[in-house]
Amino acid sequence: MDIHEYQAKEILASFGVDVPPGALAYSPEQAAYRARELGGDRWVVKAQVHAGGRGKAGGVKVCDSDVEIHKTCEGLFGRKLVTHQTGPEGKGIYRVYVEGAVPIEREIYLGFVLDRTSQRVMIVASAEGGMEIEDISADKPDSIVRDTVEPAVGLQDFQCRQIAFKLGIDPALTQRMVRTLQGCYRAFREYDATMVEVNPLVVTGDNRILALDAKMTFDDNALFRHPQISELRDKSQEDPRESRAADRGLSYVGLDGNIGCIVNGAGLAMATMDTIKLAGGEPANFLDIGGGATPERVAKAFRLVLSDKSVQAILVNIFAGINRCDWVAEGVVQALREVQVDVPVIVRLAGTNVEEGQKILAQSGLPIIRATTLMEAAERAVGAWQNDLSQNTKVRLAT
């Protein structure tokens, strides 16, 4: 799960990382009012969307008066901000953060990530801040400083001092830098983050070290331990299909193709998507209904997949291990009777009680296309979709 910049800053600040004074606003009037409250004569208005690259896309603007803040905000609120991280559809702007403008002397890149190779939290830093890390590693790979944290002892101050030294931080600021690095690391550990990125971390003209931007991503599987983090979820920033699925306890990832997949198990979902591709099609989604595929769950899955208007065929691929194919078949039949499905449905069942399952599908009287192997199922799904959904393969049922 991602959170907004202002939320990440609040968390980091509570761990001793310095941030500029700022305030959140939900309207242009409130933004101008907030700026007056903050004081000063220069502010930065920052669109709060779950994506980086806002500066280049016009989502971060320096303003010299409250009138200018009001005008800038009128151009931001309600708009979709398209950055290189949002995809062409962009992300809606419903909140802005107003922050005191900071006299920047140096911009540093600082990131904490989970490194799978070393199985450690890795610190990635570069004196080339302000640029995206992908560009830094392409253009200035030598500028990148990396260090990993030994979990048994945690991040050590000497490591932080070494990083500060390699970044060329003024020795007078080393202690501040140690505190900043330790704060980010503690926030990362405390809340089961998978990423903390401060880009840029700046050194100001008056010798302060401030996090000018902040991004945090959390491990979804650990959110149950951190209700105060789950609360920060902003559904307006998520793919609506994915948040609807999460609300229903289904694991769903929306993709760009047109063959909807209803599968149990993540590995099987991956194999199904690969096979669809191999057969010349494109998956519209990745939907894992999990272990116990009750009829209700299958019906929910159908509803969800069908709410995506680009879906032109549905491939159900279930391997019954703990489950039983006859239960799953009953679920599919029940779902098709409840939900209006007007695209071809291809079902492949394997595992326990597969014969009974096939019998239930065959006797249902529903025009379900059955397949034995995964390849056959994928070919039939792609074929059904390419044949422009010939009428006799369609399931048309009243709800």
C-beta of 213 vs 326, nearer to ligand ADP: 213
Active site residue 242: no
* Contact flag: residue 197 with Mg ion (CB under 5 A): no
Q: How far is the CB of 203 from ligand ADP (least distance, A)?
A: 12
Please tell me whether 87 is known to bind a ligand.
no
Per the residue annotation, which of 5, 128, 197, 330 is the catalytic one? 197
Which residue has its beta carbon closest to Mg ion?
Answer: 213
C-beta of 55 vs 367, nearer to ligand ADP: 55
Task: Classify the C-alpha dihedral 185-191-192-195 as positive or negative.
Answer: negative
Mention every residue, 6+ apart, whose C-beta is less than 8 A from residue 92. 49, 78, 79, 80, 81, 236, 237
**β 43-47/60-63 pair status:** antiparallel
From the CB of residue 14, how many other CB atoms can be counted at a distance below 10 Å?
Answer: 12
Residues of this chain that interact with ligand ADP (CB under 6 A) are 20, 44, 46, 52-55, 60, 99, 101-102, 104, 130, 199-200, 212-213
- As beta bridge partners, residue 345 has 314
C-beta of 212 vs 314, nearer to ligand ADP: 212
**Among 230, 224, 256, CA closest to 243:** 230
Per the residue annotation, which of 6, 97, 109, 252 is the catalytic one? 109
- DSSP character for 283? B
* Contact flag: residue 213 with Mg ion (CB under 5 A): yes
The amino acid occupying position 159 is Q
Copy the structure tokens of residue 257: 């193709």
Active site residue 376: no
* Contact flag: residue 275 with Mg ion (CB under 5 A): no
- Which partner from the list ligand ADP, Mg ion, none does 54 bind, CB cut-off 5 to 8 Å by kind? ligand ADP
* Contact flag: residue 288 with Mg ion (CB under 5 A): no
Please tell me whether 277 is known to bind a ligand.
no
Please tell me whether 107 is known to bind a ligand.
yes
- DSSP character for 393? G
CA atoms of 379 and 238, how far apart (whole Å): 32
Q: Which residues bind Mg ion (CB under 5 A)?
A: 199, 213
> What positions carry a catalytic annotation?
109, 197
